Amino acid sequence: MVVMLMTCAMTSNAEEKWGDLYIPDIQVENGTTSAVLQLCLKNNASGATGFVGLQASIVLPEGFTVTKIVRGSRLKAEDFNEEYYFTFNSNIKEDASYINAFNSKSASIEGTDGEVAKITISIPEGAAGKYTVNVNETEVANGGVIISTYTSTTAEITVNGPAILRGDANGDGEVNMDDATFVTNIILGTEDATEAADVNGDGQVSMPDAMFIVNKILKGKFPDEE
């Protein structure tokens, strides 16, 4: 699936000031199950000397989850000698994910624009529209001096296209016995097939799809979710 994003060098959602950590907006197509967010550091002030450490927490909208966090291209270990090596840490939790990076020798990296972390997220089934990501508790330091502290900003995840609710064969926004009946009618040829009617994902609409819907109604889950 296509993921459209603004890169670190192109834009900042944060106020134009030295030391901001931010995440550029992204756009994904309906049905996309995962995407990568970039945590970026923007240096807009002339004469800024660099940074030796940073931290931030990332809070995703409900239903979205963080699956992996890795250091970004600006902090890749192979780009620096031992003196400029940055320790990179992340902690993924249900309510928020935490990122920090620091140089134990306080060796400042000159010029700070760029990606400091890649955050892989999962996108819930049926997502559509705009969702807000919060970047909180940000802090950037240089040589023991806190340059920017506890600022917050937001980013948008836009999921393009209509939401498709699994099992909502008749498209009324709910999964109930009417959908099981609708699937039966598709099989009998009295209704046109819909994408949501292929509940088990085998590429066709058949009685197992109706049984999947019945299972969802009775047990609250589709058989492949149990």
pLDDT tens, position by position, 46-75: 445 566 778 899 999 999 999 999 988 877
pLDDT at 30: 81
pLDDT at 145: 56
Q: What distance in Å separates the CA atoms of residue 63 and residue 49, rounded to the nearest whole number?
A: 40
User: Following DSSP, what letter does each residue of 138-191 receive, concatenated?
Assistant: EEEEETTEEEEEEEEEEEEEEEES----TT-TT-SS--SHHHHHHHHHHHHTSS
DSSP-assigned letter for residue 137: E
pLDDT at 126: 75
Q: What are the tokens at 166?
A: 């699994």
pLDDT at 106: 59
Conformational region of residue 112, where left means phi above 0, alpha means psi within -120 to 50, and beta covers everything else:
alpha
Q: Which of 54, 16, 36 is nearest to 133 (CA)?
A: 36
Overall pTM > 0.75: no
64 contacts: CB under 8 Å, gap ≥ 6? 121, 122, 123, 124, 127, 131, 157
pLDDT at 14: 43
Over residues 166-181, the pLDDT tens digits come to: 999 998 889 999 999 9
pLDDT at 22: 86
pLDDT at 172: 87
| pLDDT < 50: residue spans in the chain | 1-5, 10-18, 44-47, 78-80, 83
pLDDT at 149: 61
pLDDT at 152: 78
The answer to whether 35 touches 65, Cβ cutoff 8 Å, is no
Half-sphere exposure of 51 (CA within 13 A, CB side): 28
Q: What distance in Å separates the CA atoms of residue 112 and residue 109, rounded to the nearest whole number?
A: 7
pLDDT at 147: 58
